[in-house]
């Protein structure tokens, strides 16, 4: 089984940038992809983007690609989320998730992922 831990959240002023990290450990040899989601109070969990682990193909949710960039380091088994031009509506708990190799998936649905981190809070003030 894979374990994932997010870090890098915090407080930032509107217009600022922040980079989140997600470190994977355990049975990482079986990872197919990792993804980022976020959830604001009272809202559903929202897909930000995902990246396939070996090939490095990235996918983004609607309107996410403009200000969010996902990358990965296969040596350290770490995924990153670079966020720029942050706005108060970006305030949320940000989660990373891991998907094992196996069935064909879209990577856009939270239910498709096998392992989740505890989340890291990002707060953007106006």
pLDDT digits (tens, 9 = 90+) for 7-47: 999 999 999 999 999 999 999 999 999 999 999 999 999 99
Q: What DSSP state is assigned to residue 27?
A: S
- The answer to whether the CB of 120 falls within 8 A of the CB of 20 is yes
**Residue spans of alpha helices (H) in the chain:** none
| Residue 113 to residue 126: CA distance in whole angstroms | 33
| Residue 21 to residue 5: CA distance in whole angstroms | 8
Strand partners, 23: 5, 78
pLDDT(104) > 90: no
């Amino acid at each position: 089984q894979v374990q994932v831990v997010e870090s890098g959240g915090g407080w930032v002023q509107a217009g600022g940038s922040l980079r989140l990290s997600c470190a994977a450990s355990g049975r990482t040899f079986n990872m197919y992809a990792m993804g980022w989601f976020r959830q604001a109070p009272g809202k559903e969990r929202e897909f930000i983007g995902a990246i396939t682990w070996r090939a490095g193909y990235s996918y983004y949710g609607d309107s996410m690609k403009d200000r969010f960039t996902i990358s990965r380091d296969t040596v350290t088994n770490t995924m990153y989320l670079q966020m720029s031009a942050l706005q108060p509506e970006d305030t949320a708990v940000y989660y990373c998730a891991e998907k094992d190799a196996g069935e064909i998936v879209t990577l856009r649905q939270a239910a498709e992922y096998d392992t989740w981190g505890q989340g890291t809070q990002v707060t953007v003030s106006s």
